[in-house]
Structure 1
């Protein structure tokens, strides 16, 4: 840690690293005007809806594809927020959604500085109706706060695989390559709509799925470098759930956050 600036030392302290990174509540930030509400609140509040952009109305054939749950990649790439949410809600592009799981849409700032992507929706996400909830979400919020970001104001958070992949016994399981490939166009459209300048992936599934690697490939091969997704700098780090289990790895996540922050500064 020699050569660390006073500012970086302050960030490290905010993250809870040294001597122990503890789980705590980050100070609440005032929701920005572009904040995305959880799914249930979205349905109850039309004030948060984004008006469709001119020239982006779905054509009749595309509308039928959305209704059938099978929009093409090209149709997804032309959707606005409302159309995208509707397409995810009725999607049957892969086995996970065909199992009748409830999809989990992204949440946070619709106009975002950072775009944070995890691997697959979990039972906790499904119950909360939002990605990265519970203790995992609290730790993510602390990580973002350490680099002067707030989920509601600056960051859009989503899962690569929207519908929870479930095992034969109903528990969470790792997604298949088919499931990741089927959901990727939805995530890429979310990224385009947010206009985020930095992508931070959480865990092996998200990093490999977005960078075109086999999902089983170890994360270590992607950490430590700045990659690119659709022209946006991408930094891969560990999933907060892993960090809760392996506290010694939290210093690695701090290095990744610093790398993402530097990439953002260079690009913008």
Structure 2
């Protein structure tokens, strides 16, 4: 094909005939040409601009170490403890109720059944053991079982009985018990908590002499260490205020050591003399 010259184009223009064909430059023709291999290739989308990408995930929060956390303990309201009742003006019924409601030592706080005094409400003697035994706790009164029978015989020999002349009680009203439920020695706190009850019992029954049975009762009323041997208190007449007090062995000990009954008899005679009774 012959290429149209500029002269030919000018001649055609004068005749009012434009060129039917124009030869484009090689560079233009090459630019419009699309190879078949390229046209057939799959279209791969262009990567999204960096601004359109999703933001990187936030770093995972690490739990605060336990040592760094501050723990505030909950507020616990203290359990109210009933105030110690002034027993100095109580009658027999009020005193019994005060003993039943007492929660001022470990013995009664353990939920043990209190052992109340028994005997003559108007008495010449107040006889006090240290603590109640298991049998006493079950019976609800002090000095039961074989020790109680021996005590009754001792009082009978002295011309008295628990029904008409003697009021019998325990210094510690609730039996002190160990973890297995067996007997244990009382503490000074337990003795101190119960002592006002015994003093009021003495006032109510009007006893003019006190006979203590065993080491705990004697030492507890005299303010001595509870472990001190009874020998340090026997053989003398003591005073609790204006009231004479004589210490003797517990009948339970006399059952184990029969030879000591002579000592107990001497103590009974001393108590009778202190009470103004004829021998």
- After TM superposition, the score normalised by the length of structure 2 is 0.69
Q: 1:70 to 1:109 in 2, by over 3 A?
A: farther
Check the 8 A contact 1:92/1:98 in 2, yes or no: yes
Higher relative contact order (CA 8 A, sep 6+): 1
Q: Which residue of 2 aligns with 1:200?
A: 211
Q: Which residue of 1 aligns with 2:256?
A: 245
Q: 1:131 to 1:69 in 2, by over 3 A?
A: farther
Please identify which structure carries the higher helix content. Answer: 1
Q: 1:69 to 1:152 in 2, by over 3 A?
A: farther
The whole-number CA distance in structure 2 between the counterparts of 1:167 and 1:231 is 37
The whole-number CA distance in structure 1 between the counterparts of 2:232 and 2:87 is 31
Where 1:184 maps in the other structure, the secondary structure is helix
Q: Which residue of 2 aligns with 1:100?
A: 111
1:109 to 117, 120, 129: 120
Q: Which residue of 1 aligns with 2:176?
A: 165
Deviation at 1:69, TM superposition (A): 7.3
Tell me whether 1:143 sits opposite 2:151 in the alignment.
no
Tell me whether 1:72 sits opposite 2:75 in the alignment.
no
Cα deviation digits, residues 97-155 of structure 1 (max 9, x gap): 00000000000001100100000111110111110001110000000000100111100
Check the 8 A contact 1:106/1:156 in 2, yes or no: yes
The whole-number CA distance in structure 1 between the counterparts of 2:124 and 2:81 is 31
The whole-number CA distance in structure 1 between the counterparts of 2:177 and 2:138 is 14
Check the 8 A contact 2:84/2:104 in 1, yes or no: no
Where 1:77 maps in the other structure, the secondary structure is helix
The whole-number CA distance in structure 2 between the counterparts of 1:71 and 1:156 is 28
Deviation at 1:248, TM superposition (A): 0.7
Where 1:167 maps in the other structure, the secondary structure is coil
Check the 8 A contact 1:69/1:91 in 2, yes or no: no
2:199 to 176, 188, 194: 188
The whole-number CA distance in structure 1 between the counterparts of 2:252 and 2:83 is 32
Where 1:139 maps in the other structure, the secondary structure is helix
Larger CA Rg, structure 1 vs 2: 2
Q: Which residue of 2 aligns with 1:234?
A: 245
Deviation at 1:72, TM superposition (A): 2.9
Check the 8 A contact 1:106/1:158 in 2, yes or no: yes
Deviation at 1:78, TM superposition (A): 1.5
Where 1:192 maps in the other structure, the secondary structure is helix
Gaps of 5+ in 2: 1-79
- After TM superposition, the score normalised by the length of structure 1 is 0.72
Check the 8 A contact 1:124/1:133 in 2, yes or no: yes
1:128 to 139, 149, 152: 139
Check the 8 A contact 1:69/1:87 in 2, yes or no: no
Where 1:181 maps in the other structure, the secondary structure is helix
Check the 8 A contact 1:116/1:156 in 2, yes or no: yes
The whole-number CA distance in structure 2 between the counterparts of 1:126 and 1:266 is 33
Check the 8 A contact 1:124/1:134 in 2, yes or no: yes
Gaps of 5+ in 1: 1-67
